[in-house]
Each structure stands twice: as C-alpha cells, then as structure tokens.
Amino acid sequence: MYILPINTRAKTTALKQPKELFTFNRDENGEFHYDPNHENINYYYFPNTKIDENIDLQSGFKNFKQIPIQDNLPNFKSFFKFLIEYEKENGKVSSDIVTFRGIMTRILSLPNNLSDPIDLYIVAYDGSLFVKLDDEMELKRQKDQDNRQRQTTSKEKYEFIKKCEYAGYKFETITTLKRPWADTSRSTIEKRNKKVVNNYEQFLSVIKTGIGKNKIVLIGEVDCCWNYVPDEKSKILSNYVELKTTRLIENNMQVVNFESKKLFKTWCQCFLMGITKIIYGFRDDNLILRNIEFYNTDEIPVMLKNNPLTHNSDKKVNCTNCLKWYGAVVDWLNDTINKQDETKSYKLKYDPNDRSFTVKEVSKERNEKLRNGELLSEEFKEWRQSLKNNNK
Amino acid sequence: MGVPALFRWLSRKYPKIISPVIEEDQYEIGGPKYDDANPNGEIDNLYLDMNGIVHPCSHPEHKRAPETEDEMFLDIFTYTDRVLMMARPRKVLMIAVDGVAPRAKMNQQRARRFRSAQDAKIKQDAIDAEIREKELRGEIINDAIKGKKQWDSNAITPGTPFMDRLAEALRYWIAYKLSNDPGWASLQVIISDATVPGEGEHKLMSFIRSQRSDPQYDPNTKHCIYGLDADLIFLGLATHEPHFRVLREDVFAQQSKRMTIRDQVAMTQEADELIQERDKKKPFLWLHVNILREYLAVELFNPQIPFSFDLERSIDDWVFICFFAGNDFLPHLPSLDVRDNGIDILVNCWKNCLPTFKDYVTCDGKLNLDSVEKLMAALAVKEDQIFKNRHVAEQRREERNKQRKIAEEQDKALKSVYLSQVSKGKEKAPLAPDINMPLMDTKGKMVEGYAKLTNNEIVENTAIITKANLANADAAAALKKLIDSKKNPINKVQDQINNDSPTSESETSESEVPESESTEDVTKESPKKRKFEEVEEETDDIKLYEPGYQNRYYEIKFHCKSEDEIEKTRKDVVLHYLEGIAWVSLYYYQGCPSWKWYFPYHYAPFASDFTNLKDLVPDGIKFDLGEPFKPYEQLMSVLPADSRHTLPKVFHDLMISEDSDIIDFYPEEFKIDMNGKKMAWQGIPLLPFIDEKRLLDSVQAKYKLLTEDELNRNINKQAELFISPRNKNYNKFHEKLYKDNEKEVSFKYAKSGLAGTVLKYEKFQPESILRYPLKEGNMPNVKNNEYFQTYYNFPEKKTGKSMILNGHISAIPALTTADKNNLIYQLSKPSHMSRFTTADENREYINTGPAGKELFKCYSMRRGGYRSYMINLQNGGMPPVQPRNQSYRNPRSQTFNNAQYNNNRYNNQQNGARSGYLPPRK
C-alpha cells in the first residue's frame, strides 16, 4: 500500500496546452458513434433579449427522457472502439494516464472537497495507466444518496431537487441548436422550449494534455461550441462552451456557496479539458430563467482569489493550491506504479474519515476481471498487440 | 422615395442619429494616411453604391460638368478616394454598380429615363437660347461651351459602352490602390459591376446576408454603406447588423447654389476652380443605424401584445411601413405621402393594431395577410380625413401664395415707378425672347403658340399687369386645364397647339387674347427658380376630399365605366398591389423573388380596398423566379428613342421606325399625370407597359447581327475579387488556381474576414501588366504581381433570419433617459413641428462599434448573477431585491432597469477591473 499525504504539493506546475485528438457521440438511444467531423456537436444560440421572456425551466419535466444511472457511468468500451479508429489513421496514442475528465476533476478538487470519498481502479497496460471508477461503489453511493433524500425531505422538496437537475438539461436544450444558426429554421429556434429534453445525447471529446512531465489523455463531455468548430486543430478546444445552471445569487452567503460548491468545480472541469468558455444560467425558486452570464475559464481563479467576502476565510478557494496537489498526485502515481508490470492492478482510495489517500494492489480476481472486459476490452488488447507485432 | 423629405423627417424625429464626418486635411503633405486610426471610429466593411458616385460626378448639380468622359472617371477616382479615407474599411470594400434590374424596377427606370431625355432636350434648348441671347448682345461665347453637347445621363445604364469603360477604369483604380497604398494591404475588394444583374444596393444586401450565413462570421462586424438613397437606411436596419452606419453628403449643411443655365454658360476659369475647391470640402455625415435602433426600441415597444415582443421583428415591421409609404416599385397609396407624415400615420396604425394581431406583419420577408388586412383597415378608417385635411392645407397654401404674389407685384410696381433703374445694364438690351412654359414634348419642339415677353416689357407694364393679375391667373389656369386635362387625349391638344389655331372651346380663345400677360406669372419666377420645377395646380376631378371619391378615382385613373368594372378593377389592382408589397418585402430580406414580376398599373388602390385578402389569394402569394434580362434587353426596356446611341446600331430601327413591331413602346409624346403633386419630377409619366414577350422576340431576333464585341457586352457576368499579395489568402489562391490548376477555391470567414469561393479569372495573368486605360490623367501602369484578381461567388445562399447573431456585443448606448423621454413626448406631437437638427450638433459622438471585445458583454448586466453581484459589492451596497411579480408582468421596467445596468456599467467599473471581476483594462 502506498500513501500520499493530503498536504503534498508539487513544487511547480508546468501545464501543457490541451489539444483535441478526436470526438465521438452518444445518441438519443444511448448508442455511441465515432464522430471525427464534429457532426453531432451542438451550437450555442441564445440572444440577450430572450432572457426577458422568463422561460420556465421546469416545463416538460414529465417528459424528461432520463438515462438510468447505471448506463451513465464512464464507459471505456466504446471509447476503446473509437481510439482504435483514431489510431488506425494516426498511430498509437502514447500517454502516461488515460482516464475520464470526471475522474480527474475529483482528484483535482479534492483539497476543497475533503468530505467526498474517491474510489478508483488503475490498470497498467501497454505503457499507460488506465483509470476508471469503482462502478459498484459509485452506484451504491448515488442510490444511497437518492434514498436518503427521498426519506428525509418532503415529496415536494424531493421533486424540486429532481426538477433542478432537469433544469440543467432543459437549459442546454433551449440554448443550443443541432446545426449552425444559419442552417436552422426560425421555427426550430423558436420552438426549442417545446422540445423533449433528454440526457442520452452527449458529445464527447478526447484530448491530450499534461502536467509536469506527465502526459494525460482525458475523455470528457462537451456541451456545445461557440458558433463553429475551427479548422485549425489547436484552436478547437477554445471554441467549446460549458453550460451550467444555478440559483440566482442574492446575498453574500449564496455567493460564497456558489463559489466553493459550484463555480470551482466547473473551473476544474473546464480547465482540465481546455475549455475556455463557461455560461451560467441563473434561475429563481420557481425555476424561471432570469439571468445568463458568460465567463472565460481563466477569469475564475482571479475572481475567486479577489473575493473580499472570503478574505481570511477557510471557505476561500485556491485554485493554484489544487493544481499543485493535482500535479503531486499525477507525479506520485507515475512514480509509484510500475507501468511495465501487467500482472497487477490497483485501487486508488480516498477515505474522508481519516483523510487517507492510498493506492493498494487489488486481488487476483479483481485484476483478471479488470483486464478482461471490466476495463480493458478484448478488441483493444488485440489491436495494441497487432501494433506491437507490426513494429517488430 | 423623396430622399430629402425622408431624411428630414428622420432627423427631426430622431435627432441623435446623425453626426458629422471628421476629416483631417488630406491635401497637406504628411496628411493622414489610410492606415492611421480613423478619427470617426473604425469600420470593417465599406459598401459603395457606385451609382451614388457616378451620377453626381458625371452630371453634377453644383459645379461645372466634366468636359470628357475621362475627366468624369478621374473625378470618380478622386471622389471615391475621399469617401474611402473617411471610412477606411479594414476588411472588405465592396463596389456595386447597378446591373440589370428586376422588371419591377424597370418601369420606374423607364419613366425616369424618358423624362430625363425630355429634360435634357429642354435644357439644351435653354442653353442654346441663352447663348443666342448673349451673342445678340455682342458677347463672345467660348467655342468649347458652344459646341458642348449635354452629356446623356441615360448612358449610366447597364450594357452601354460608357458602363464598359467605367468598369475598366474602376478595375484599374483598384489595382493601382492595392499595389500602392499600404493601408490596402489586407483589404479585400469586391466589384459587382453593371454586368452582374441586380440593383447595386440589393447586391450589397445579398453580400451581407451571405456572409452572415458563414458560422465563422464576426457578429460584431462594423459596416458602413455610402449613398444618398434613403433606402440604404432601411437596408441597414434590415440586415439586423447593429453596427451599421450610412455615409452620405450633408445636403443641408451648405446650401450651395444650384447651377443655372446662365451660370453654366457664364462660367469663368476662376469661378470654376473656386467651385471645384469648395466641392472638395463639402461636408459629409454619418447616419448611425445603431442609434436609430435605440430610438426604435423605445418607440416600438409594446407590452400589450399577445405574443412576445421582439425588437428585430418590430423593426422589420417598421421598415415594411416605411417602404410602403414610398418605394421604387409601386406607386404609393393616395393616402400615404412622406411629406404628409404618411409614415407616422401608418406607424401609429400599426402600434394601435398590434395587440389585435396574431403575429407581426412580416416574418423574415413573408407577409402575414391577416395582419396586413388589419393594418390596412386601420388606415382605411383614417383615409377620408387625411384627404380632407390635405385639401384644407392645400387651399390654405394657395391662399398664402396668392397673397404673396399680389404683395410682390405691388412692391415691384412701386419700385418701377419710384426707382429709375430696375436692374443691371445687361437686361436693358434688346433680347431674344426667353422660353416660357414648355409643353412636355419628346421631340423638343419649341411651342410657338406661346408668346414671349421680354423682361423689360414685363417690368414696364407691371402696373397694367398687376391689375389684370387675377384675370390672368384664371386664364393661365384655364390654359393649364386644357393642357393637363385628363379628359382630352394628349394628341388632340398637341395638334391644337402645334397648329397654333384656337379651338372651338372658348377657353383657349380667351387665353389667346391676353397671351402676353397670361404667361406672366411663370416668367416672373423664372429668373429665381428653375423653370420646369414648379407647376401650378391642375384641375382635380377626383376630389379626394369629397365623398364618392373612390368611384371617381377608378373611373378617371383606371378608365372604368361601370360599377362592375370598378369592382373587378379594384380587386385586380389590390391583388397586384398585395403581390407588390410581398415582392418588395422578400426583395429586402431574401433577395429578388422574381425577375419578371411587375406592377401593371400606374396608380395604387385605397387602403379601404384591402379587404378579404384570404379570399383574394387563397393559396398565398407565389412568385416565379425567372431570369434577369440581358443588358440590351434591359436597355431596350428602359431607354427612350433619343438614347438609342448607347445601343448597337442594329437595334435603332426598333425604336424609331414605323415598321418596328415594338414601336408603340417608344412614344414620342406622353402624358405626365401630376396626380396632385407639385414638383414636376413627382408626376407619373403615363408610358405603356412593355410586353415582355414581344420585346424579347424583337430584340433577340437581332442578336445574330451583332458583332463579337457587341455580343460580349450583352452577357451577365459574376462579381470579382481583388486582393493584394499581402492578403492572408493570397498564397492559397495563387497556388491552387494557377499552379494546381484547380477550378475553384472555397474559403471561410475566420482567416481574413471574408467567405466565399474564388474562380480563376482567365484574363488575369500574374506576369503581365495592367495598362492605364484613360487618355487623361497621369497614372502609372500596374504590374499584375502587385495585385490579384479572380471571379468571386458569395457563399451558398441560405434563408435569412431577422435575428441578432450569437456573440454580438452592443454598442455603448448613445441615448440618455432624457432623449428617450423626449422621443415619447414627441410622439404625441406631429413630426413636422420638431426642430430640424443639424449633424454638427452631435459632433461629439464617435461610433466605436461594440462596447468591447470581452464576450461576457454579450449579455446585459442583470440582477442575480455572480458577476453582477460582485460588481455591485465592489461599488458598495446591494441594490434592493426586485419584486418578482413586477418584473414578470412588466418586462419593460426590467429592460429599463437593465438600461442602467447594461454595458455602460460594465465599462465604467474601475474597481471591477482591479478586483478581477472585469478583465483589467489593457
């Protein structure tokens, strides 16, 4: 077992500029497709004057097509299919770590979320560390939380919580288009309010990034783009937009909570993916959209730092601090785990009870399962094997 | 549309929309350069409606006309240079010359050209007369002036040799500038000349629309269009590109003297130069469409409508109303006249009706017939009263005029008695007669029947004349009645006068007797004003101010005989008129819906005739696109016989020979129906409508007789793109078209601020030289490797939508709360009561386009946001929480509150910049 003290920080954080490798999507039936030409990306369109129309973000709640939690966990299988497609054209993607953005976000934001547990599996294969969630634990936690909410709150409150979740997807639906604005008819644009909301549809981007000396491949969902996807590959990520919703901010406490619970996490997500544009929709207690604000990702650390309300407070969020922690973790994982040893797999665990951050070898059984379907797919192993053979 | 009238109306109502153009003195050495920062604020794209430059340079009103065509072209270069220095576009310059127009426009072009040929002849005759007069007095007239023939402005029509030479001159000039002016390094110049079909301004519209459809387009593009046409203001609004301005000469700043005939002939070298200098300095102004939008946002806002208020849609309706009151394709409704507050009346109808509509009147150019009908019904209610009011105002005006004339005459009579010398020496010399009131005659024959009085004779006989004034006025009126009578066919009248014999009608004989005095009124005025401008009141048999006017109108104007005929005609006229407004609406928003469609009547129906529209067009209004005419076909459709010199010889016979199948299209004489108007140019020439099939058959039959050169002038071509070698796309274009021999190269917007496709222009060879095409002037040849020329196609056409694009950042608002309150207050008073604001009063305003580059400025600051909260925190204290109900029910108050909050505040946050809630100022 290897332990990393929670207060470890990297000395410096040299960050690599993230670059997109390829993209794929999940359609409204939950099926994944390779999409290198960005055909399924959404386009942001919501003019300033429309905000004054007081759109109800809970309308259509009854028709919400929601994907079951168990089907919504990060999925390596489909990713590998498309990675193979990509590598066929462009050669092997070499990286120290390959994982999902959501997973990295948890690690990055840990110093600010010391009470949230983390449970991950790490499999070393073909020179990279593949990291996935402990799906069982994850599912259990989510279900437990749901049950708790159902039991401890009133029916209305519980429904309200669900509606708030829905409101997030609703916001995405009314502010985006499936095709560029010029190719979309007026009636399509104006009828978005009536459109059935579903969270099956997703657009995912696979990017290459890095911190310190470590190279990282991340897979993350992208909500939409700002008008177009640039032809120049290096500029693509900077035109993506992250959409979020939150409650109107009307007093000091709400500001502080917003910053630490929501804005910071959003920053982490976008920062990791190289997404530079963030749009927040503000809704009131009746779930009516009342305000929209736009932020550049790199504005946020400065805003957080300069907030007078959190001077000398333990609630203050320090992004640089988290980055240094993140750098330390990545360094540590790379130094600790032997990538060449493909007979073992590991569990990375953060336990909020004793604030321990540990990596432990898993059982032989578990290792077998992980390497044969649970994480690595047969298809992928065959492919990588064939590459090795060809190189000999 | 009466341009000065509309412009005056706009500046009265919305005083802050105009501001003067700042020009640093560019005639000094070391003066401003193109790449210097523009003191008027930066502009990305400049659109030149070239006709607005060619016309004034080729036949100017305020200075001597150029002697040769080359001189004209050099004038055009100078003028264009000046306009370019004012605007200094950084990305795109588009030059559009009118090409073959849609049929709907050709009728107006035809009317104008027929009338202009007539006017030219009259003018030439007047000049000849003036010359004769001076020579009789012993003056020597310069041979140059004597021999000079008035230039035929009808040559400014697509397909003429002049337009060909103009095209060549323009291309040379562009190549020259690209290779010589460092400020033009990244400028992309598009020429859409007379060989590309479409009206200039609409080609510009198409271009803007096409760029908007590229997803990479910059929604904060700063546009500027140059031109005097009022239409440009509406076009600017219709693009829904808020950073838009119109550049035009300030015709009201300097009331420079119009050149009279006398002036033209008497011009000395010195005077000429002085006028040229002054002409170079005449001021220009900006009309800021973004500020007009601010005004309209206040004026058009309506919280009581059953559908959500949409400023862009409201603006579209407003534009629709404006061109309803006056456009080039349809005669306007009798009850609507810009000078009569026509637009205000209709806008008020619209505002009042809006709550009863199901949707706005227009939607991206398509009409909602239900709303149109309701709007017309509201106007119909007012029609009777409008006519009555007009009549009363007319009568009052006439009374005043009469009184004034009597006073003037008495004054003059007194003077001639008590003062020995009346005028300067020259006028005492015996003179040949001046021309008096001419008849509209295309042959330009002097109408001998009218006697002429010398000025001297008039002055000496003033006393007698004064007394006989009233009687003369009657006689004059009677004479006029005869001439303009709608009951007598024009030819009959012509014969009467030509034969110089009194008719059986007593009126004529009466007028013949005191013939010398009868024309006195008009002669008196002639030294002061242009003779053929003001025409006196004609008899009005329709009498719009008396009940029953509808039937009389249809009887007289449309020659209906029975009730049934009236009903049928009325329906037909309304149907076509409805098609007409649908056509115009689509033309503005989507491009020409039909090249063939035209309104087949000379007069419009009444608003009260617009009933049961759904029954009239049960399947909605549809258009057949068709194709534009070829240049010669267009020329044959719009030119009078006198301008046939601009057409190849083979066509001349078609216009003048008795044997021509289409000779009836080119009448020598035609009636002009003043239709209640005062100014000659407002009258309606009653020319026969051209039958397309007959015309095309006759014209196309002659094609086989044309030479190759002539055939080449008859083709419709494409626009061209010119760039300098420093343009970001140069290498790509050059390589792909000339090395890889590809047919075409598509390019997107982001790289250089222009999107489209280029195709190889075969005649452009990168190694050769472009020779200076003119004989006058001293400009160098241009090497082809110093510029690059290709054919250019707009990006693929997509349906336009009247919406603001994503990423748009508004300009800093220019109107204060006081301004807005003033507007609301003014709306309750008639517009002509407001003071006319000059551009100079707004000289402090500089249009800098969007309020910044930071994307967060796309959204106004509103309560409840994170950034807005923090900014307020910085400024000390939270504003009170807004009561929720109030804002839900009354979005207006929210908008107004936001007005205090919007980009203005974002830009004024000093503290914010330091705290990081706003990016630090650079």
Residue A73 has pLDDT above 70, yes or no: yes
Q: What number of helices (H) and strands (E) belong to chain B?
A: 36, 17
Q: What is the average per-residue pLDDT within B867-884?
A: 70
Residue range B438-447, pLDDT digits in tens? 334 444 343 4
Residue A305 tokens read as 């730092």
Q: Does A7 touch chain B (CB under 8 A)?
A: no
Best to test chain B binding among A188, A246, A276, A290 (most B CBs inside 10 Å): A290
Give the model's pLDDT for residue B188: 97
* A227 to B215: CB separation less than 8 angstroms, yes or no: yes
Confidence of residue B877 (pLDDT cuts 50, 70, 90): low
* A47 to B804: CB separation less than 8 angstroms, yes or no: yes
Confidence of residue B826 (pLDDT cuts 50, 70, 90): confident
Compute the radius of gyration of chain A from its Cα atoms.
Answer: 21
Residues of B in contact with A303 (CB under 8 A): 870, 915-917
Residues of A in contact with B868 (CB under 8 A): 291, 293
A222 neighbors A205 (Cβ within 8 angstroms): yes
Residue B459 has pLDDT above 70, yes or no: no
Give the model's pLDDT for residue B584: 93
Residue B574 tokens read as 């309304």
Residue range A3-26, pLDDT digits in tens? 999 999 999 888 999 999 999 999
The mean-pLDDT minimum among A33-42, A146-155, B271-280, B771-780 falls in B271-280
Q: Does B917 touch chain A (CB under 8 A)?
A: yes
| Minimal Cβ distance to B862: which of A47, A263, A291 | A291
Residue B212 tokens read as 């908007």
Give the model's pLDDT for residue B149: 67
B151 neighbors B58 (Cβ within 8 angstroms): yes
ipTM here: 0.95
What does B274-296 look like in DSSP terms, one character per residue?
Answer: HHHHHHHT--EEEEEHHHHHHHH
Residue B831 has pLDDT above 70, yes or no: no
* B865 to A307: CB separation less than 8 angstroms, yes or no: no
The SS3 assignment for B769 reads strand
Q: φ, ψ for residue A145 (rounded to 5)?
A: -60, -45
B150 neighbors B57 (Cβ within 8 angstroms): no
B761 neighbors B720 (Cβ within 8 angstroms): yes
Rounded to the nearest integer, the mean pLDDT of chain A is 95
Rounded to the nearest integer, the mean pLDDT of chain B is 80
DSSP letter at B920 equals P
Report d(CA B313, CA A47) in Å as an integer.
14
Residue range A192-235, pLDDT digits in tens? 999 999 999 999 999 999 999 999 999 999 999 999 999 999 99
Amino acid at B393: A
- The CATH architecture that domain B3-100+158-294+716-793 belongs to is 3-Layer(aba) Sandwich (3.40)
Domain boundaries, chain A: 2-234+320-391
* A231 to B807: CB separation less than 8 angstroms, yes or no: no
Give the model's pLDDT for residue B895: 39
H/E stretch holding A364: helix A364-369
Residue B646 has pLDDT above 70, yes or no: yes
Give the model's pLDDT for residue B257: 55
| Minimal Cβ distance to B364: which of A53, A186, A306 | A186
Residue range B64-97, pLDDT digits in tens? 888 899 999 999 999 999 999 999 999 999 999 9
B500: left (phi over 0), alpha (psi -120 to 50) or beta: left
Residue B22 tokens read as 């700042």
Domain boundaries, chain B: 3-100+158-294+716-793, 859-922
Give the model's pLDDT for residue B256: 52
Closest-CA residue of chain B to A298:
B919
B163 neighbors B712 (Cβ within 8 angstroms): no
Q: φ, ψ for residue A15 (rounded to 5)?
A: -105, 140
* B855 to A181: CB separation less than 8 angstroms, yes or no: no
A245 neighbors A235 (Cβ within 8 angstroms): no
